[in-house]
Chains A and B, each alone.
Chain A
């Protein structure tokens, strides 16, 4: 544990989510807010007796430019992996920051992929054929989520009730929303996959805060060896470790 634990105050939370600025108060964010505090309380009485938040350094936008877009993304990821009695959802896990950081880098600009034309739609079996990078797809997808929310419910996406968010996300999943240069189903798959990546990747990427994603799954992270326990019949509960030194 090389990093000093830092307590995360309600004030910090309000500041970073933009709620304090009065921008948007919707079901999703309220849910996240309530959930966050409940989670924090759990942390303080965790069995190890320590708090291990290491989130502060990872906050801040590398890709997104405005809070509204980021909140749409946050609420969409939270619907994909919601907070429940097992533990935190995507927001508390830091998934939106994970995605922001990824979109700013190699992932967002598809640097290791073949992006030369000519572009064609192709058959489903031929895979990804868009001329758009993931960064462009996310930006457009988030704008369309907002548009759909406004068209259907006369509100921004982040102000919707969770059922309304689910209805819109389902329409994206079922390819019912027109997008340019990519299908809404593809955007939804990208969003879903990125949410899981953020929830369960090593915390050094900015998600999976406090290794809570791993703790929920009982995955012990980076362990050097299981040679001494792999023959045990009994399920082994092992305190997780991160490559980042936690």
Chain B
């Protein structure tokens, strides 16, 4: 029997970026906020011995414990779905900070084109550019409406960058801190892309170029370029993350309480409102009901969708009939690129997660797609994140993967190989969706989330095209051998690709085709907010965090307004 706890203004599920942002904003506005985090408390002092590739990058120390909960996966509806037994393709976070602890810090704003992708694609290319199997839709909000919230996040995080990309949406203010260092490796890319007529610029980074105090008074330190960023926490407090910014900001108000080892099992709905959440204290084994005026789901894409499904809130999407919105438009990202093998040794082991240069000449609708069989594109970047020796063993195609020749080549190439890669946009397809699995359960007896996903023709065409562009850039950079990424066929969960999963709890202007409204307020329960990359109706050509955070800031404003006046925010 669950113990019911006194009602608070806001209960938040998950304390990563979105939960942290909403906690900070609501607590600053005077609301009593409780955050439930199923992982543990952690912070900079836990990251002092983190330069350990094996423990953190290979054995995934900071990631979700799959023994307790995972998802099932299949490429299409005809296959039986089987559990993802090990992490590989994407790395789910757990604990205070969530994936915001182990991210790299690439901080982008999705394009004006992204927010109105359906309208703008139809206007320019006609309504049949992609077949009707692709479920393109506008987001219900425009870039101009989002701009102040993008900037709010830039300020909170102290983003380092330069406003030199001629393509991206207008920025009302410049970056809070200057760009990171232009290293010799980055300059190779800069020179090559300039000579090919493109417009390179420094990648917007949440590893800061200089120490910075944000508007809430939180200090973020200067990056030391140690080469241990993605999959690691930062020992300097120089990679902006929730536990050094929004969480302490929320704490300082005295209105916020974080509860750890609190695994939420259900959102409790009554009529057209929710009353709170049921959670398990995974240490004591006790169940609690935390009542609240407002419930905010701020866990990762997978768990936000699952919690709605197991709580029977909203209608499950059915690919057969096209009915239902929950689980719809699950998207991923497509990763074209090229690798170049050089003669000269380079300092490839130095770096920072978001140390890079990019071009956007082939992102969004920045180039003409009239004669192409795909839409959108991707940012193309070189990043110097620091090659680490267990996972970086570059060998050219045809080289044996073990033995004397492997050893010689992988060691030689370790300091002589560069890669460029793109964050290829991913378009929603009617057959790619999330649902509940009927066979496999988590440690608490709830069904696992089931993912049905495969690459589509759009993805394959985009991949091929951007790989060719990347290959040309790498040749121009002076590599003696260049290998483009191999063509993609079926999505395979083995091998790390990207932790940029999106969709399933999508936003939109109408309850007919979305789960939440543009303030991320649930259409079927006005005091329930669902926040995260699950709101994306498609995935753009950038890393998602900047856009996720901006949506969270806008939603926080909506929650504060709702707590005063109730009713629908639209």
Contacts and interface: CB of A to CB of B under 8 A. Distances in A.
A77 to B, nearest CB: 10
A115 B347 contact: no
A199 to B, nearest CB: 8
Interface string B398-427: 000111101110010011000000000000
Contacts of A6: none
B411 A202 contact: no
Contacts of B75: 123, 125
A32 interface: no
B401 A202 contact: no
Interface string A203-221: 0010000000110111111
A125 B54 contact: no
Contact of B59 (A106, A115, A222, A225): A106
A218 B411 CA distance: 9
Contacts of B346: 235
Do most interface residues of chain B lie in helix, strand or loop, or is the interface mixed? loop
Contacts of B181: 227, 230-231
B126 interface: no
Interface in A174-209: 192, 195-197, 200-202, 205
Contact of B389 (A116, A205, A217, A226): A217
B183 A166 contact: no
Contact of A230 (B73, B347, B403): B347
B414 A219 contact: yes
A234 to B, nearest CB: 9
B493 A127 contact: yes
The interface size bin for chain A is 35 or more
B95 interface: no
Contacts of B52: 201-202, 222, 243
Contacts of B349: 218-220
Contacts of B441: 116
A194 B411 CA distance: 17
A128 to B, nearest CB: 5
A113 B86 contact: yes
A34 interface: no
Interface string B64-107: 01110010011100011011111010000000000000000000
Contact of A233 (B65, B184, B222, B490): B184
B487 interface: no
Do most interface residues of chain A lie in helix, strand or loop, or is the interface mixed? loop
B60 A116 contact: no
Contact of A227 (B86, B225, B403, B490): B225
B73 A126 contact: yes
Contacts of A114: 66-67, 70, 83-86
A86 interface: yes
A123 B79 contact: yes
B491 interface: yes
B350 interface: yes
Contact of B184 (A116, A120, A232): A232
Point out which of A197, A217, A222, A236 has the most chain B C-beta atoms below 10 A from its C-beta.
A217
A111 interface: yes
Interface residues of B, number: 63
A218 B494 CA distance: 29
Contact of A231 (B184, B388, B492): B184
B67 A113 contact: yes
B53 interface: yes
A122 B490 CA distance: 14
A116 B440 contact: yes
A33 interface: no
A224 to B, nearest CB: 6
A49 B59 CA distance: 35
B397 interface: no
Point out which of A80, A106, A218 has the most chain B C-beta atoms below 10 A from its C-beta.
A218
Contacts of A120: 80, 82
Nearest to B390: A200
A113 B54 contact: no
Contacts, number: 168
Nearest to B346: A235
Nearest to B227: A226
A86 B412 CA distance: 10
B404 A113 contact: no
Contact of B74 (A106, A115, A126): A126
B224 A224 contact: yes
Contacts of B493: 125-127
A63 B9 CA distance: 53
Contacts of A125: 75, 490-494
B2 to A, nearest CB: 25
A201 B346 CA distance: 22
A81 interface: yes
Nearest to A221: B51
B226 A107 contact: no
A112 interface: yes
Interface in A120-139: 120, 122-129
Point out which of A114, A123, A192 has the most chain B C-beta atoms below 10 A from its C-beta.
A114
Interface string B221-244: 011111100000000000000000
A28 interface: no
A213 B66 CA distance: 31
A47 interface: no
A219 B389 contact: yes
Nearest to B443: A116
A44 interface: no
Interface in A151-177: 166, 169, 173
Contact of B411 (A89, A115, A216, A229): A216
Contact of B347 (A173, A196, A224, A232): A232
B58 interface: yes
B407 A129 contact: no
Contact of B402 (A192, A197, A223, A224): A192
Interface string A54-73: 00000000000000000000
Contacts of A173: 402
B566 interface: no
A82 interface: yes
9 contacts: A114-B86, A122-B80, A122-B82, A126-B493, A127-B73, A129-B85, A201-B52, A223-B227, A226-B225
Interface of A: 79-82, 84, 86, 89, 106-107, 110-116, 118, 120, 122-129, 166, 169, 173, 192, 195-197, 200-202, 205, 213-214, 216-227, 229-233, 235-236, 243
Given A110-B67, A112-B60, 17 more contacts: A80-B406, A86-B407, A116-B83, A123-B75, A127-B493, A128-B85, A129-B82, A129-B83, A222-B51, A222-B52, A223-B227, A225-B226, A226-B224, A230-B225, A231-B181, A231-B184, A243-B51
